[in-house]
Each structure stands twice: as structure tokens, then as C-alpha cells.
A = this chain, B = another copy of it.
Amino acid sequence: MSIDPRGDRAVYRQLADLLREQIQSGDLLSGRLLPSENRIAQQYGIGREAVRQAVAVLRSEGLVSTVRGEGTRVRQPVERESVRLGRTDRAVARMPVESERRELDLDEGVPVVEVTRADGATELHRADRTEFFGR
């Protein structure tokens, strides 16, 4: 599989598809470092900006996590805590704003779940570490 600059889809989307497949197929194992942006750009004969956009897509999907000066790694699945919902409790999932991401130290591409209890109290849960059950 390769990348066609004259294809219908944008180069960075084609690259995102390639990398996503390598991740989901287990070709790129959890915790593994992806090749550097410059390395990938050379490898496929594309610009670094296209590589950056492709990696940004995967980050927004929660598949990888990037650390400046280190590189981009495939995100590890983590243990999930169970949260029970009563029939008068309400749970809504959404993306956090920047301030919430900072406070919860969330990676990009990780939603939050806002739980409103019967008494009006609210809880904010990290979606990557939580699963919800009825009560």
C-alpha cells in the first residue's frame, strides 16, 4: 500500500489511514514509538506538514499520544473504573475544553463524561478510564 499525491483523498488522510491500519492490525504495538515526522515524510516522499496533519488525526481519535522532543506513541489501553448510574442519574459525553484537559491532564482525543446525580451534584469522568453501568 502506498500514497498517491494525485489521488482523490488528501495525502494526509491517506497516510492517516495507513498508520491507523498499522495500529489496529497490531503492526504498530501499544506503547511503540512511531517513526519521526521527518522520517515518515522521507519514507513516503511527502511534506512534513502532511505527516503532522495525519498524526493530528490519530491524536484526535485517541489512538496515539505525542510528547514534544520524544515522539508519538500508540496509546496504551488502561484499566477502567466502573461507575453506576441510577435511573434518575444522567450521563452525557462530550469533548473537554482546554482548561478541563489541563486540569484532568487528558491526552487529546479523550472525551469526558459528565454525570448529573439525582441531587444535582455533577461528576466529570475521564472517558478512557471509565465504563458505565445501570444500577
Contacts and interface: CB of A to CB of B under 8 A. Distances in A.
Interface of A: 13, 16-17, 20, 57, 60-63, 80, 84-98, 108-111, 113, 127-128, 130-135
Given A60-B60, A60-B108, A127-B111, A132 B95 contact: no
Q: So how many copies of this chain end up in the complex?
A: 2
B95 A134 contact: no
A108 B94 CA distance: 11
Contacts of A127: 92-94, 111
Contacts of A134: 84-89, 133-135
B61 A95 contact: yes
Per DSSP, chain A at the interface is: mixed
Given A60-B60, A85-B85, A109 B132 contact: no
A132 B92 contact: yes
Contacts of A135: 87, 134-135
Contact of A16 (B62, B88, B98, B108): B98
